[in-house]
Every structure is written in C-alpha cells, then in structure tokens.
Amino acid sequence: MKMNENKTNINWYPGHMAKTKREIKDMINLIDIIYEVIDSRMPISSKIVDIDELINDKPRIIIMTKYDLCDKKETDKFVAHYENLGHKVICCDLMNNKNVVSKILDESNSVLKDMNAKRKAKGMKPRSIRALVVGVPNVGKSTLINRLVGKKAATIGDKPGVTKSLSWIRINKDIELLDSPGILWPKLENQEHAYNLAALSSIKEEIIDQEALSLHILKVMAKLYPERLKERYGIEKVDFDDITATLDAIAIKRGALLKGGEKDYDKVYSIIIRDLKENLLGNVTLDRLEEI
Ligand SMILES: Nc1nc2c(ncn2[C@@H]2O[C@H](COP(=O)(O)OP(=O)(O)OP(=O)(O)O)[C@@H](O)[C@H]2O)c(=O)[nH]1
Ligand SMILES: [Mg+2]
C-alpha cells in the first residue's frame, strides 16, 4: 500500500463562516479590541490567515488556549515570535487557569484608558470598550467567553461549529464583547495545515477521510516526535513506501484484529486519530516556527 496524499483534499467552508466574515467586516468599526484565539498546539495552522486584513490595526491580544496540551518548548518559540512583532500574548489552560481573566482584563483596561483619554481630548464622554473574539472553530472561543463573563453565557461544545450566530455579552461595566463563531479561511490552501486542524478537531470529522487523516498524523509524529510512536506502538520508524508494515505493527500492538486474525485497518485509523486527540501520544505542537 502506498500513501496517496492527493486522494483527499480538505475543503471546508460552511456558509455561516462566509457570513460571519462579512458581518465582522461590517462591524469592525464598532470594535475597540480583538481577542484572537489560537490553539497552542498549532500556532500557524489555527491562525486565521487574513486576520490582519480583517481587523485592520485594532489593538489585539493573542490568546493561546490549550496550553496544557501543547509542547511548551515549541509553542514558546511562537510566543516570543508574536511578542517580537509587538503583540500581547497570553497562554492559558482555559479549563483551570484562574489568572487568565484578570490578565485579559488588565490588558483591555489599558486599551480602555487610551481610548477614553482620546475621547476626553475631543470633548467626548468616556464609554465602555467593545471586544471581539475571533478564531477558527474549536479553539476555545466560547470557553474563553464563559471565563470572562463568569457564568455559562455562551454555548460551548467539543464539536466545531457550535456557535453559529453573533451576540453581545457584557463582561463588566467597562467591557462588552461579541462571541463570534469560528472563521476558517476561504481556501485551505495549505493541506498540511488543514490536516493539522482536522487532527486536532477544528474541522468536522464527518468530512475527513479517516485513512488520510491517520496517515497524516503518522507522518507528522514520525517527523516531530518519533519517540512517541515508539513508546505507544513499538514502531522504530514509519516507512511511507510500505505503510502496511507500520499499520500491521500498530494493529498487533493495539489488538485491532478481526476474527481470524486479519488486521482491522479502520480500527487502526480510529486508534491513531483518537490517541492524538486524547493526548495519548503526549503533548504536541504540530507547527514549527521555521515554517513562517
Ligand atoms: N484542555 C483544554 N481544553 C480546552 C481549553 N479551551 C477549550 N477547551 C476545550 O475545547 C473544546 C472547544 O471549546 P469551545 O469553547 O466550544 O470552542 P469554540 O472556539 O467556541 O468552538 P466553535 O464554537 O465550535 O467554533 C471544548 O471541549 C473545551 O472544553 C484549554 O485551554 N485546555
Ligand atoms: Mg463556540
């Protein structure tokens, strides 16, 4: 069996995303600060490609979620990179980190002060600032909003595309924010990034070819974290010219066998996909700074 990389191109762009993008463009003038949410495990793949164009030069905080699941050594290189570009970056585990809210509010307050100083100079009354949360699906936007609001105010879920409409939520007397649904770039031109997104849940599972996705995971893991494959599946190396040997080894190691001892490849694919998603292959960061 040979690996056929062109077999399945991921091309997912649900209608509500195009709509959101238009809506954001229309209302960007109402917005004073952007909370750009990125998955720490894929600082390039989960970043909206045309974000700069979309938000103009609004003040921005980059919020790197799922920091608890990433390979910190690699992700921290991106943090330094974004900070060097002049962005404020906050890494967080939204499930546990209590400080994230105060960090974000502190940063937002300094934008609020600047804004109201300018308004005062023009003889205008102070007002609260309006924040916009943006990010691709499943990066933790709704979870972040719930943290900020302090109660369950926005729908969250572990499937991409849960939030489908725009709504304003008041955080406190100074800040109100918009929960926006995930925005994916129109064309997933870089298939490596598209597959990273699929591997870590930001693209609907139903549209993904499981074989192609699991082979992508093997390829990335073999390149970036070969020791993890050895640890979990007992594989020394992955031979992509004869992937069957690797799949067979995993099938035997993990008991993915049909009656009569035949290998159950569908089960092997789902094991690989699940193992990565459930962190059983360890903390990973699938992008590398050198790609930029
Ligand atoms: N471990 C971990 N899980 C997180 C973190 N942030 C979010 N999650 C989980 O990631 C999943 C997606 O979170 P949501 O808040 O629904 O993501 P979203 O960006 O609103 O997703 P859509 O509305 O589908 O675009 C949920 O299962 C969250 O519990 C984090 O920092 N660490
Ligand atoms: Mg959501």
Q: Could you state, in order of their start, the residue ranges of all structural domains in the chain? A: 15-179, 209-291
How many C-beta atoms lie closer than 10 Å to residue 4's C-beta?
A: 10
**Cα 218 off chain centre by:** 20
d(Cα 262, Cα 278) in Å, to the nearest integer? 26
The CATH fold assigned to 209-291 is Conserved Hypothetical Protein Ylqf; Chain: A; domain 2 (1.10.1580)
* Residue bearing the CA closest to ligand 1, atom 21: 138
* 15-179 classified as CATH 3.40.50.2300: no
The stretch 194-214 carries a mean pLDDT of 89
Q: Determine if ligand 1 sits within 6 Å of the CB of residue 139.
A: yes
SS (H, E, C) 172-240: CCCEEEEECCCCCCCCCCCHHHHHHHHHCCCCCHHHCCHHHHHHHHHHHHHHHCHHHHHHHHCCCCCCC
> What angle, rounded to 10 degrees, do the helices at 243-254 and 226-233 form?
50
Name the amino acid, one letter, at 267.
K
Q: Which residues are within 5 Å of ligand 2 (an ion), measured at CB?
A: 141-142, 162-163
Cα(181) to ligand 2 centroid in Å equals 6
- What does the pLDDT look like over 227-267, one tens digit per residue? 999 999 999 989 889 999 999 999 999 999 999 989 999 99
> Is the model's pLDDT at 6 over the cut of 50?
no
Count Cβ neighbours within 10 Å for each residue of 31-57 and write b for 16 or more, e otherwise.
Answer: bbbbbbbbbbbbbbbbbbbebeebbee
Q: Determine if ligand 1 sits within 6 Å of the CB of residue 59.
A: no
Q: What's 266's DSSP letter?
A: H
Mean pLDDT of the chain: 87
The stretch 181-209 carries a mean pLDDT of 79
Task: Tell me the helix, strand and coil percentages in the chain, rounded to 5.
Answer: 45, 10, 40
* Residue bearing the CA closest to ligand 1, atom 4: 66
Same fold, 15-179 and 209-291: no
